[in-house]
Amino acid sequence: MNIHPTALVDPEAQLSEGVQIGPYTIIRPDVTIGKNTIVGPHVVIDSHTDIGANCRIFQFSSIGAAPQDLKYRGEKTRVIIGDNNVIREFVTINRSTTADIGMTKIGNNNLLMAYCHVAHNCRLGNFIVMANAANLAGHIDVGDFAIIGGLSGVHQFTRIGTHAFIGGASAVAQDVPPYVTVSGNRAKLYGLNVVGLKRRGFSEETLSALRQTYRIIFRSSLILKKAIEKVRVEVPDLPEVKHMVEFIEQSERGVTR
């Protein structure tokens, strides 16, 4: 463990083996940091924050600050961050309010580029990329392998599906189904995320079934209920197809079209 002499680390913070803390960084009480995580200079990690192993947190990031929600009254809520995450300069990650599960949660192997914001009660999965200055409002769920383009904003209570791609400078106000590409202000559908899916090793059979599902739901004249019924009859019953259909059925805000 290596703590720079100018860093302020509360005695109640728990730092694991191999942790490095840079100059002028502040670590509040009730913080845990996992093995070999490197925290750069001028970082502030507030109370009620758990950070996993092998993370890299760059200068001037703020993690665990109180949520920007007028209903918050100082309740003890948390930020939980998994392993192998890279959090670049000036990223802000707020702890949650007492709503939902009472935590802001980030999984493993994610990259949050400079100036990104993750608001209270967000839940991020694994292998997600948020490009520079992408902003998530409160209560957003982001699925594994999603990519959110730089300067994009996502409305509160929105869901971003697994393997979805959001183009840069987009304004997303409704759920983004898994496996698709959206872009624009307001964001619109631009087909399947074929390039991303091929890079992740999706088979031609799966891609064909997803294309068929996409065409029936989003490019036919059928109402949503009838389109989903047609998918269940005509499209091979693959897990990815089932996941897309169930995601759309469960939407409360409506899906991006």
CA 242 to chain centroid, in Å, comes to 22
Can you tell me the distance from the alpha carbon of 32 to that of 12, in angstroms, rounded to the nearest whole number? Answer: 9
Same domain, 99 and 209: no
Span 82-102, mean pLDDT? Answer: 97
Instruction: Tell me what pLDDT residue 254 has.
Output: 98
Span 168-187, mean pLDDT? Answer: 99
Supply the CATH number for residue 211's domain.
1.20.1180.10
Same domain, 39 and 130: yes
Span 110-139, mean pLDDT? Answer: 99
Show which of 70, 104, 139 is a domain's final residue: 139
230 — alpha (psi -120 to 50), left (phi > 0) or beta?
Answer: alpha
Per-residue pLDDT band for 50 (boundaries 50, 70, 90) equals very high
Show which of 99, 116, 139 is a domain's final residue: 139
Q: Which has the minimum average pLDDT: 37-46, 93-102, 170-179? A: 93-102
Residue 166: inside a domain: no
Same domain, 133 and 202: no
Arithmetic mean of pLDDT over the chain: 98
Does the pLDDT at position 101 exceed 90? no
Residue 153: inside a domain: no
Same domain, 21 and 122: yes
Structural domains counted in the chain: 2
Same domain, 108 and 8: yes
Residue partners of 215: CB distance under 8 A and separation at least 6 = none
Span 126-139, mean pLDDT? Answer: 99
Residue 187: inside a domain: no
Same domain, 133 and 214: no
Residue 145: inside a domain: no
The pLDDT tens digits for 185-221 are 999 999 999 999 999 999 999 999 999 999 999 999 9
* Pairing between β-strand 180-183 and β-strand 188-192 as defined by DSSP bridges: antiparallel
Higher pLDDT pick, 110 / 101: 110
Angle at alpha carbon of residue 136, lines to 134 and 138, rounded to 5°: 165
Same domain, 95 and 204: no
Can you tell me the distance from the alpha carbon of 134 to that of 93, in angstroms, rounded to the nearest whole number? Answer: 12
Residue 228: inside a domain: yes
Same domain, 106 and 230: no
Span 70-78, mean pLDDT? Answer: 96
The pLDDT tens digits for 140-167 are 999 999 999 999 999 999 999 999 999 9
Same domain, 133 and 49: yes
Residue partners of 58: CB distance under 8 A and separation at least 6 = 40, 43, 86, 87, 88, 89, 91, 114
Supply the CATH number for residue 85's domain.
2.160.10.10
Contact status, residue 10 vs residue 29, Cβ threshold 8 Å: yes
Per-residue pLDDT band for 42 (boundaries 50, 70, 90) equals very high
Span 120-136, mean pLDDT? Answer: 99
**Positive or negative, the Cα torsion across 64, 69, 75, 80?**
negative
Residue 182: inside a domain: no
Domain containing 227 equals 197-249
Can you tell me the distance from the alpha carbon of 2 to that of 91, in angstroms, rounded to the nearest whole number? Answer: 23
Residue 103: inside a domain: yes
Residue 215: inside a domain: yes
Instruction: Tell me what pLDDT residue 45 has.
Output: 99
Instruction: Tell me what pLDDT residue 108 has.
Output: 99
Per-residue pLDDT band for 246 (boundaries 50, 70, 90) equals very high
**DSSP annotation of 34:** -
Show which of 95, 117, 139 is a domain's final residue: 139
Structural Rg of the chain based on CA atoms = 20
Instruction: Tell me what pLDDT residue 188 has.
Output: 99
Same domain, 103 and 228: no
Can you tell me the distance from the alpha carbon of 238 to that of 209, in angstroms, rounded to the nearest whole number? Answer: 8
Same domain, 29 and 110: yes
Can you tell me the distance from the alpha carbon of 142 to that of 175, in angstroms, rounded to the nearest whole number? Answer: 10
Which residue intervals of the chain are DSSP H helices?
A: 194-199, 204-218, 224-234, 239-249
Same domain, 123 and 202: no
